Structure 1
Amino acid sequence: MADEFSLRCWGVRGSTPTPGSSTLRYGGETTCFEIQAGDALVLVDCGSGARNLGTELCKSGPRSFDLLFTHTHLDHICGLPFFKPAYDPRFAVTAWAGHFQDGTSLVDIVSRIMSPPIFPVAAKTLKAVEFRSFTAGDIIPRADDLVIRTTRLNHPGGACGYRFDYRGKSICIITDHEHGDPEVDAALPEFVRGADVMIYDAMFTDAEYQGFKGWGHSTWQKAVQLAREGNVKTPVLFHHDPRRSDDELDEIGLAAENAYPGTLIASEGMILRP
């Protein structure tokens, strides 16, 4: 386990879960990542994909891990009420968020969705979870060899990107994000510089984007552009539009591969090892 460094996708869809025959190959669950770095476990976001992840974690027995949120829109937190380890006091889950632009806290948001009449079980039942905050741009404090850097993203209400560096390898997660903010855009190439894997919000195509400016999402063409500017080895297109079928994602994948060889389309169950 000491040399293991990997990212597994448990949910790759944006905005809302999309079960159905047209999303079977890439998957319909919303954002959830599992990162292994030696003996360390870090999860990113708790969308609907977190339900299945939680079931698997419970099979392995209690442990401690961090849960990082890119932001707290519903598609990124809707799995938390169904995440079994959060209710088990034998686990120790440190939940972090750093995107807030006002006095809101992570526990405030979770308490809103986990309260009657929205949900019958209160947030106080999450016995294993400790809620903590940081400011986008901080380094998450740790006592092991995994370094977690953060950066501000452009998304309604704020969002945070993450970079994981472990023993000379690196994974970046840049979602949810809309290109077009000069300050944020200027910082991103350096943040992802030399990354082995870069997850990027590619919800739209350039042609579609004109009708969705301000929605907080980017395009696969911008993913390729950022990968080229930052000398990223493997860009991974993510946060698939809920309207997007598997066949349409195949077409985007082919175009992106032609534009930047090595580009991948994120799929549920995909495991990436830098």
Structure 2
Amino acid sequence: MSNTQNQFTVHFWGVRGSIPCPGPETVRYGGNTSCIEMRVGGDRLIFDGGTGLRVLGQYLLSQMPVDAHMFFTHSHWDHIQGFPFFVPAFIKGNRFHIHGVKSPNGATIQQRLNDQMLHPNFPVPLQVMASELKFYTMQVGEVMRIGEIEVENALLNHPGEAVGYRVSWRGHVAAYVTDTEHYPGRLDENVLKLAQDADLLIYDATYTDEEYSSPQGSKVGWGHSTWQEAVKVAQAANVKKLAIFHHDPLHNDDFLDRVGEEVAQHFPESLMAREGLSIQLASPPSELEHNPEHSLSKAKV
């Protein structure tokens, strides 16, 4: 069996929230918005289509033909704005299975991706994409299977609604829990369910506790959480490794360095998500030494 069929790898292509923030102060962590890729047992799963998806698309041009599953948490701009610039979707011979739940007004993920590419928002419609696009509407709480892979979703606490995902394969688990706001005084049962015993929890920690409840500019009700809450979830759910994700565009590299130090003091098995990071959840030992597939930095859980 090939190495790719034995691996479970998580790649970070976009780690910011709200809006891209390129510039000299965001070089180390990156300025692209949400996009995660998981390569699981030979299958490629992509979570969210922020501007990081454009960068992933450039990489995939050397991997064609591409057959991948794409899962969207919701359709706020920072999670879909890379889709119209995803070059592999314009190339015949590629195939993408696109999954999402209905929005509160009943719109499907197909409708929402289509609408953002209509005039006056974009020069060409979604129908120009020459790849095979297959759209699927998931139910909230649904568990779906792709071969040996199990993908579960759960509703999160976010304006307009969003879902988080739990990906399980051969006893390994990665949880992608972004764009969710914690509840005061208690942990969200849906978040705990997604994160329980996960090898890796990717969690929305846009703010610090001080920013979240600041009298000068409270973020209560904005739909995002804090690194302090991330630690509470990771501890309660017996998570092996915690990735702080969905960084605020106002948080520069130095600020995120300091956050990372504080998180590590409370949860040593933690890291700050950054563009280019690759985490191996399951992989043949020789692959780390001999696989020159890409130049992403690697960390093993």
> Aligned ranges for residues 1-274 of structure 1 at < 5 Å?
1-98=4-101, 100-128=103-131, 129-142=133-146, 144-180=147-183, 185-210=188-213, 211-274=218-281
Q: Give 1:102 shift.
A: 2.9
Aligned to 1:118, what secondary structure does the other structure show? coil
Question: Residue type matched to 1:244 in 2?
Answer: H
Q: Give 1:224 shift.
A: 0.3
Percent identity between the aligned chains? Answer: 38
Question: What's the TM-score once normalised by structure 2's chain length?
Answer: 0.88
**Corresponding residue number in structure 1 for 2:289:** none
Query: How far apart, in 2, do the equivalents of 1:171 and 1:84 lie?
Result: 27
Question: What's the TM-score once normalised by structure 1's chain length?
Answer: 0.96
Q: Deviations over 1:20-63 (max 9, x none)?
A: 01000000000001100121000001100111111111211113
Q: Give 1:99 shift.
A: 5.3
Question: Residue type matched to 1:66 in 2?
Answer: H
Q: Give 1:103 shift.
A: 1.3
Cα 1:190/1:115, change in 2 over 3 Å: closer
Q: Give 1:183 shift.
A: 9.8
Q: Give 1:191 shift.
A: 2.5
Give yes or no for contact 2:212–2:226 (8 Å, CA) kept in 1: yes
Query: How far apart, in 2, do the equivalents of 1:182 and 1:126 lie?
Result: 47
Query: How far apart, in 1, do the equivalents of 2:102 and 2:279 lie?
Result: 26
Runs (5+) with no aligned partner, structure 2: 282-301
**Corresponding residue number in structure 1 for 2:291:** none
Aligned to 1:60, what secondary structure does the other structure show? coil
Aligned to 2:61, what secondary structure does the other structure show? helix
Give yes or no for contact 1:70–1:99 (8 Å, CA) kept in 2: no
Aligned to 1:273, what secondary structure does the other structure show? strand
Q: Give 1:181 shift.
A: 8.2
How many aligned positions are there? 273
Q: Deviations over 1:171-215 (max 9, x none)?
A: 000001111289981232232111010000000001111110111
Question: Residue type matched to 1:246 in 2?
Answer: D
Question: Residue type matched to 2:248 in 1?
Answer: D
Aligned to 1:24, what secondary structure does the other structure show? coil
Cα 1:2/1:141, change in 2 over 3 Å: closer
Runs (5+) with no aligned partner, structure 1: none
Query: How far apart, in 2, do the equivalents of 1:52 and 1:163 lie?
Result: 24
Cα 1:87/1:214, change in 2 over 3 Å: same
Give yes or no for contact 2:187–2:233 (8 Å, CA) kept in 1: no
Cα 1:99/1:241, change in 2 over 3 Å: farther
Aligned to 2:29, what secondary structure does the other structure show? coil
Cα 1:190/1:106, change in 2 over 3 Å: closer
Aligned to 2:235, what secondary structure does the other structure show? helix
